[in-house]
Each structure stands twice: as C-alpha cells, then as structure tokens.
Amino acid sequence: MKSVYFDNAATTAMRDEVIEVMSDVMKNNYGNASSSYSLGRLSKSIIETSRKTIAKLLNASPGEIIFTSSGTEADNLVLRSAVRDLGVKHIITSKIEHHAVLHTVNELEREYDVQITYLDLDSNGAIDFDQLGALLKTTGKVLVSLMHVNNEIGNILDIKRIGDLCKTYDALFHTDAVQSVGHYNIDLQEINVDFLAASAHKFHGPKGVGFAFIRKNSGLKPLIFGGEQERGLRAGTESVHNIAGLGKAMSMSYNNLESEVEYVQNLKSYFVSKLKKAIPDIEFNGLSEDLEKSTYTLLNVRLPIDLNKSAMFLFQLDLKGIACSRGSACQSGSNQKSHVLTEILNDDQLDKPSVRFSLSVFNTKQEIDYVVGVLKRLTT
C-alpha cells in the first residue's frame, strides 16, 4: 500500500539535520543549564545560541524569546497573564481560532468575568475590520487575539493592519503564529505585535518545544513557578536538545525559505488544478483555493458526496494509505464537526465531507496524482 502524508498542518517530519543536532546534544551536552560548572554552562550556551538565532530571524531581541513546551503553552501564558497581571478586561477574538485560544478565553471569562467579543466572519472566514476598529474605540484595557494563518482553512490575516489598529487605540495584540513561523518572513520591528506563539514541530522541528515572543517591558508574569529559568517567566529545567532542534529547524526553514515556498506553492497550484479537473463539483472551504490569500501549504476541500457515504470517508482514505484530516489534529479523536467550518458553512455544506490536505517540501506531484485518483474513485 502506498503511503502519502498530507497532514503537515498537524505536524511535520523532522529534518535529518535537526535529528543529528538533537542526538549530539542528548549524547554529549546533558548538563543542567542552571548549573555553574562547565557542562552546565555549555548547555546554557546552546540554549542562548538558539534564542539568538530565533530572535535574529524575527528581528526581535533575544530577551523577548521565551521557550515553552508548545504553542498552546505560549498562548496560555500570554492570555492568562494579560488578564491576571496586565488588567485586561476585554478580549476581542474570533470563533475560528485554535482551541488553545478559544478554550483559554472561555476559562478567563468564567474565572475573571472578562468580556469576550467574537468578530463577525464572512462566508470565507474573513474578519470585519470595520467592526474591529469600532470595538477598539471602547474604553478599558483591551487585548486582541487573532491567528496569523488559520490552521484549518489556511486564511492569512493581515497582522500588520491589525497591529496598526491596535496601536492606534492603545490595545494589546496577541497572535497565534503556529502555522506561519518558519513559513513566512515575520519582522517584529515592522509589525506591532505584543505577543506571538510558535511551535517547532510545524516547521520540521521536534515536538514538545515552542516559544512565546513577549515584547520587552510588557509586564507579563509567569504561569509556572519554581525556578528562574527563561528570564523568570517559565520555571523548569530546560529541554536543551529540543531547544537546539528548534533553533536548527527554524534556521534551516528560513535559509531555504524562497526555494521551498516556490516548490510547495507549485504543488498546491498543481493540486488545485488536478482536483478541479478530476472532480468538477469539488468546492474549497475558506480562502484555501486562493494562492494569494491563503497559505501555500494547505487546502481544505468539500467533496460532492451524500451524507451516507461521508461518515467513513477519512477512514477510507486511511485504508488507501493517505494521511490527512478534517481539521485540527488536537480534536481529531472527537466526533464533533470542525468548529471552524461550523462557523462559515451552512447545514447542507456541513453534511458533505470536508478534508484538509496540508503539504510540505517532502511531498511530490506523484503523491498528488495518487491522492486525486483515489478521491475521484471514492466520489463517483
């Protein structure tokens, strides 16, 4: 059976070079980075080298990069501390954010009686900028939390425009950039972002490590206590090999960015054209068909299949060796429909199977041909 991995928005394969760096660190640099002897100082040096690498790639200061276990932890650190420690009384977000944001703001509403406002969305999942501007005119400490690239439908948000709006009205801006860091150039001196979350395993790095960008002098305080690691913002012995892997993966992603974007973008364009030819009634969710307004790595398609056939569709693809998903991997074990698609599709559209295919530099046109052939057989 052929095996095709088209779920890179869920996680990516690590690059060989990343594995080599991590293996070397695990074998030779196992000292505790908080220790004062040479083995510990070497581990600390590895951590700080990765921090400087990331900061340089994002045009930030090394002290603004705080290592975490994941993008989810980074989102929680920012949102919870903003309410608890910075006096935020009103959070503006959308209902198609990752659950790392949605579940957190729901808890903050319950625990701290924070006002939560969800922006209106059009049928493609795009926000209403005029509504956001009007909301930002309200009094009180406001934080806007909107993701840069949607993990299910691929829509790209103009975070420069959002940041400028927030700056105009003295609001804080947090963006979950888990799907964009390592895939897009982000200049944090040009974009008015106060807080950003990222995760290594989305750009061919290891699982279990991510980082938060926290603008200097923000006043943010830790959620995890017990030590002075990470500028006092994240206690716990650092995972040196994971941090080294994160730095290496991010460096390689940006060193190869231009050629890899071109390669994957050509794959996506090819995929769209082949799908339209093979399945004329296919539809694309959100803006995922648009090569300018959606990420080059992702397609979310709605297939012309009746309700009776749709229930086992992903299982049938799995039997053919095709790894893909209907939405976020964090909820793939649930029988609930995608919360993102539920917000933008009507009931008839939701009855049809929607599938997310996400690509990487390790995919090929031959794999696309195989997947399109399977989809055509299953839809006829």
Q: Where are the domains of the chain?
A: 4-12+257-378, 16-255
Best CATH choice for the domain 16-255 from the list 3.40.640.10, 3.30.565.10, 3.30.2090.10, 3.40.190.10 = 3.40.640.10
Residue 115 has pLDDT above 60, yes or no: yes
Same CATH fold assignment for domains 4-12+257-378 and 16-255: no
Quick: pLDDT tens for 128-151: 999 999 999 987 899 999 999 999
Quick: pLDDT tens for 183-205: 999 999 999 999 999 999 999 99
Q: Which pLDDT belongs to residue 333?
A: 47
Average pLDDT, the chain: 95
The 8 Å CB, 24+ separation contacts for 15-23 are 15/204, 15/248, 15/249, 15/252, 17/248, 17/252, 18/204, 18/205, 18/206, 18/245, 18/248, 18/249, 18/252, 19/245, 21/244, 21/245, 21/248, 22/206, 22/241, 22/242, 22/244, 22/245, 22/248, 23/241
* Cβ count within 10 A of residue 336: 8
Tokens of 269: 């364009």
Residue 354 has pLDDT above 50, yes or no: yes
Residue 328 has pLDDT above 70, yes or no: no
Q: Which pLDDT belongs to residue 139?
A: 73
The band of 380, judged by pLDDT with boundaries at 50, 70 and 90, is confident
Quick: pLDDT tens for 50-101: 999 999 999 999 999 999 999 999 999 999 999 999 999 999 999 999 999 9
Task: Tell me the catalytic residues.
Answer: 330
* Stretch among 61-65, 97-101, 268-272, 337-341 having the lowest mean pLDDT: 337-341
Best CATH choice for the domain 4-12+257-378 from the list 1.20.58.60, 3.90.1150.10, 3.30.450.20, 3.30.2290.10 = 3.90.1150.10
The band of 332, judged by pLDDT with boundaries at 50, 70 and 90, is very low
Residue 307 has pLDDT above 80, yes or no: no
Q: Which pLDDT belongs to residue 1?
A: 61
Confidence (pTM) = 0.95
Residue 312 has pLDDT above 90, yes or no: no
Residue 257 has pLDDT above 60, yes or no: yes
Q: Which pLDDT belongs to residue 329?
A: 54
